[in-house]
Every structure is written in structure tokens, then in C-alpha cells.
Amino acid sequence: MQPSADSTQAIAESDAIAVERTLAGDRDAYRVLVERHSHNVFRLAYRMTGNRHDAEEVVQEAFLRGYQKLGQFAARANFGTWVYRIAANYAIDRMRQRQKEESRREAPRVQDADGIENDPLNRVKDEAPTPERLTQSLELRKQMEQALAALSDAERTAFVMRHWEGCGIEEIAGVLKSSSNATKNTVFRAVQKLRRALQPIVGTRTQARAMGTES
């Protein structure tokens, strides 16, 4: 459930007081901010990184960096949005670091006879499941996770922040260091790629449900 405008305003005011007290040297005031915003930051971090371990690391790092940079926080800004942005930036760095580590471990990329790289998106299409497998929600979940993992860092960030977290385009553009128009295009590309990867599966599943053949 989305919080009401009044409760959002009350939280923002209470956050502003906690920030002021923290800056004045009351370290415990920061505890209030951490406890209040940890769940939201975790949700964003998990959706961006795709795993719990990295998400927890992102949450801790975001609040540590937030504390270190609190002096730069503009009094009128919203602390929740601000720490969210720090978390999104760190999650991008974490994903890049993870990719580098994985690419070092992985064997050279395989190309098929036509020279088309065997990327995760192609695998999703090639391994289109049979109707039996479609009934297994775990399999669908795996496909969706693969499709999300196949997005670029910017696409995944833009999609998570816009579609799941409801962030404004300007806010996402700030994290991606990009223009509003380029950010809108990134959201579009993300949805387009997800659609191409998942529609054959989701479409069949919906059809099976309509025909009553899905258990």
C-alpha cells in the first residue's frame, strides 16, 4: 500500500529533524533513519542485484556513505530519496564488479554457425519450455530472472526504479547521469527486451490457462 501524502510529509519532516540532530553529533538519531528506510532500500537493492547477499551489502554501504556525506545533504531534500539514490549508484557499481568477476571466470563466449553470439536472451528463446514445463512456476521465475539479468545495468536500473519503485524520470536520469529523453528510451528498451524474451512463454501460459489445460 502506498503511504498517504500526509504520512509521507510527516516522515520527511521527522527525517529532517533526525538529519539535523545527527549533524549536531547525536549519532543515535541516524539509527532512526536507518531503521526507517532499510526495508525500502533493501527492496530496491534486491531487484537491482538479483541476490540477497549483494542486496544486503548495498544497503549497508548506502547508509555508511549516507552518513559520511550527510553534510552535503540539502536540508529541504527528502532523505529517503537521497539514500535511495546512493543505493542505486552503489548497486550499479556492485553489478559491474560482479560482471567483471564472472567474465574472468567464464570460458570465451560461444558463437553459433551464423556468428550470432549465444547471449542469455537467445537462450531464453531457444529453450522455450514445453506446456508441461510452463506449468512449473519455478521455471517461469528462472526465465524471468534470466531475462532481467540479460538487461544492461542502465536498463535494469531504469526498469526497477520506474516500474517497481515508481521513481520519476528525472530521479532515474540523475542516477544514470543521463538526460530525461535518454532515460525514457532506456525504460522503453528494457521493457522491449523483457517482452521479446518473455512473451512467448507468458503468452503460451496465458493461452493454456484460458483453455483450462494448465494445472
The correct pick among 12, 16, 77, 202 for binding other proteins (CB under 8 A) is 202
Only one of the segments 5-13, 27-35, 80-88, 125-133 lies at the binding site for other proteins (rule: CB under 8 A); that segment is 27-35
Residue 160 DSSP one-character state: I
- Enumerate helices (H) and strands (E) in the chain, giving the number of each: 10, 0
Q: Are the CB atoms for 34 and 63 separated by under 8 Å?
A: yes
Cβ at position 13, least distance to other proteins in Å: 19
Taking the complex as a whole, the smallest distance from the CB of residue 6 to other proteins amounts, in Å, to 22
Segment interacting with other proteins, rule: CB under 8 A, options 2-10, 30-38, 75-83, 126-134: 30-38
Report the residue from 14, 184, 208, 214 that binds other proteins according to the rule CB under 8 A: 184
C-alpha to C-alpha distances, 88 to 44, 63, 103, nearest whole angstrom: 8, 12, 22
Are 209 and 137 in contact by the 8 Å Cβ rule? The answer is no
Contact between 79 and other proteins by CB under 8 A: the answer reads: no
CA distances from 143 to 3, 129, 136, 202 (A): 32, 10, 11, 10
Contact 168, 211 (CB under 8 A): no
DSSP track, 161-193: IIIIT---HHHHHHHHT--HHHHHHHHHHHHHH
Is 193 among the residues that bind other proteins (CB under 8 A)? no
Q: Which of residues 113-152 bind other proteins (CB under 8 A)?
A: 117, 119, 137, 140-141, 144-145, 148, 152
Cβ–Cβ < 8 Å for 148, 194? yes
Q: Which is nearer to other proteins, 2 or 72 (CB)?
A: 72
User: Least CB distance from residue 41 to other proteins, whole Å?
Assistant: 9
Query: Residue from 6, 35, 102, 132 that binds other proteins (CB under 8 A)?
Result: 35
Residues β-bridged to residue 117 = 111
Among 16, 77, 81, 189, binds other proteins (CB under 8 A): 189
Rounded-to-integer distance, Cα 206 and Cα 189, Å? 24
Applying CB under 8 A, the site for other proteins has a residue count of 63
Query: In the complex, which residues of this chain contact other proteins (CB under 8 A)?
Result: 22-23, 25, 27, 30-31, 34-39, 42-43, 46-47, 52, 56, 59-60, 63-64, 67-72, 117, 119, 137, 140-141, 144-145, 148, 152-154, 162-164, 169, 176-179, 182, 184, 186-189, 191-192, 194-195, 198-199, 202-203, 205-206
